[in-house]
Amino acid sequence: MIKGTPAYTHFGTLTPNQNKSSKRYLKFRGKADWVEAAALDKADEKIWGEDKWDFSGRTDITDIKFELEYKVDAKNMTSAYGELNSDFIEFGVRVWNKATRTRKWFKGAFTINTTGKLEARFDSAAALPIALAQFSGEIEIQPLIVSKTPLRDSVSGLRTQPGTILGWSDPIVIELQKNRKGLSALFEIRWKAFSEEAGLDGAFFEIDWSERPIIYLNDANQALKQVLMSEASRGKVARVRDAINRLIAHQAVTTGLMAAFYQFKEIHSNGALEASDIIENLSSQNESILREWGWMLTQHGDATRVDDIAQELLEILENGVDLGAVIVDELSIRVQREFGTEKSIDDLISEVSDGDATDD
């Protein structure tokens, strides 16, 4: 993700035009007509996050189209490059999809009005029809303003080459995973300001264990956000990010498993004697966490299918196996192994040892 103002040139961030709400349309399988997002029912509203559109598991939707509008004060741009028009710069969206190894450019339109405001518009219907079957994983759509010709920045003295990114907005990510694994499969990750809600003092994340579980992270902590949003694959930030991720994963998975096991036990005590019956009666979030992580609760930790896991849990309940030994003793070790806690701790310690940290 691109952040901040470019050091190499003068332009900056494109702001979504709030005055003109962006329009989004969906096409459902077997239907010819487009349906505007605003006309969808409540279940479909969950798709539209602030910066992520989540179509995970929505095999009923085949196509999407959307309009995006942005504005930016072009004052910095004109002071650096002089008056610019479409001969020199271009607005469009860059589309990346790793799973299909796609990276493409789709052109939009822009105008610079008399007050120096640049207004840009992208209509996917004209340029980028998205048939979901053609993609997989995450589609990243990043609005950009780029130079078409070499430009000289009179302020910085630098010369840009064709394609240089002069302005951008945060990308929109379209999530298409059908079979996500790990925490992302189970939890939607959202940011919110904890200061605006009672009872969240002293917390940096909150788990909403509802039908569609959500991990909320504290939006007010910008340093945390910067670290967790980092896509670095190595280095200090990556190690700290991974350590924080592990901490969240530990608690989220342990708590979720306890909730699932509690409901499992309750359904069993209410008369369900077959593993498959119990699984069928679990809430979706409890069934999901048992499917992905339930092996940690089993005696030997080697069951992989959810029905095998359920059968083992049933045997634990029916055979009077010592729950303390199985769950308390084993679970914490398995969670640590699963999330590589030891390595994470080593990494963090090495940060302190390698750096010039002093004990004050």
Partner 1 sequence: MQLMTSKTVKRIKNPSEWTTERVQYVLNSKSFDDYENYPVELIIEDDLPLELGANRNLVFEARLAKAIHEKVARLRAIAPEIVKDNGFWMWFGLELCREQMVERWCNGRDINGALRKPERASYFLSGDSLQAQQRCGVRRLWIAADISQRYDNTYDHVEGLLEKTDVFAGIVERMTGMDAEMAVALMQQLNPIKSEVIRRMIAKKVSVVLSTVALEVMTTNQKHELVKLVADEVLQAQAA
- Rounded to the nearest angstrom, the gap between the alpha carbon of residue 286 and the centroid of all alpha carbons in its chain is 22
Neighbours of 344 (CB within 10 A): 19
The yes or no reply on residue 135 touching partner 1 (CB under 8 A) is: yes
**Three-state SS letters, 90-103:** EEEEEEEECCCCEE
Pick 79 or 102: Cβ nearer partner 1: 102
Q: 253-286 b/e with 16+ CB inside 10 Å = b?
A: bbebbebbbebbeebbeeebeebeebbebbeebb
The yes or no reply on residue 349 touching partner 1 (CB under 8 A) is: no
Among 31, 103, 117, 343, binds partner 1 (CB under 8 A): 103
CB contact at 8 A, 167 and 193: no
Per-residue binding letters, 242-281, with partner 1 (x by CB under 8 A): ---xx-xx--------------------------------
- Among the candidate windows 12-20, 25-33, 140-148, 347-355, which touches partner 1 by CB under 8 A? 140-148
Q: What are phi and psi of 89, to 5 degrees?
A: -130, 165
- Among the candidate windows 94-102, 274-282, 313-321, 323-331, which touches partner 1 by CB under 8 A? 94-102
Pick 115 or 179: Cβ nearer partner 1: 179
Structure tokens of 55? 């179509």
Among 74, 215, 243, 282, binds partner 1 (CB under 8 A): 215
Q: Which is nearest to 167 in space by CA: 153, 147, 149, 152? A: 147
- Among the candidate windows 11-19, 31-39, 176-184, 312-320, which touches partner 1 by CB under 8 A? 176-184
- Among the candidate windows 18-26, 29-37, 311-319, 334-342, which touches partner 1 by CB under 8 A? 334-342
Among 23, 65, 94, 212, binds partner 1 (CB under 8 A): 94
Residue 65 CB, shortest distance to partner 1, in Å, is: 19
Using CA atoms, how far apart are residues 280 and 285, in angstroms rounded to an integer? 12
The yes or no reply on residue 165 touching partner 1 (CB under 8 A) is: yes
Pick 115 or 161: Cβ nearer partner 1: 161
Residue 103 CB, shortest distance to partner 1, in Å, is: 5
The yes or no reply on residue 221 touching partner 1 (CB under 8 A) is: no
Residue 220 CB, shortest distance to partner 1, in Å, is: 17
The yes or no reply on residue 29 touching partner 1 (CB under 8 A) is: no
Neighbours of 213 (CB within 10 A): 20
Using CA atoms, how far apart are residues 155 and 279, in angstroms rounded to an integer? 65
Question: Which residues between 67 and 86 bind partner 1 (CB under 8 A)?
Answer: none
Q: Give the total of residues touching partner 1 (CB under 8 A).
A: 51
Q: How far is CA 259 from CA 187, 256, 264, 284, in A?
A: 15, 5, 9, 12
Among 99, 125, 203, 232, binds partner 1 (CB under 8 A): 99
Pick 78 or 336: Cβ nearer partner 1: 336
Using CA atoms, how far apart are residues 168 and 72, in angstroms rounded to an integer? 10
The yes or no reply on residue 187 touching partner 1 (CB under 8 A) is: yes
Q: Which amino acid is at 173?
A: V
CB contact at 8 A, 307 and 274: no
DSSP 197-250: STT-TT-SEEEE-SSS-EEEEETT-HHHHHHHH---SSSHHHHHHHHHHHHHHH
Binding residues for partner 1 (CB under 8 A):
6, 8-9, 90, 92, 94, 96, 98-105, 133-137, 144, 146, 148, 161-165, 179, 181-184, 187, 189, 215, 228-229, 245-246, 248-249, 292-293, 295, 302, 304-305, 338-340
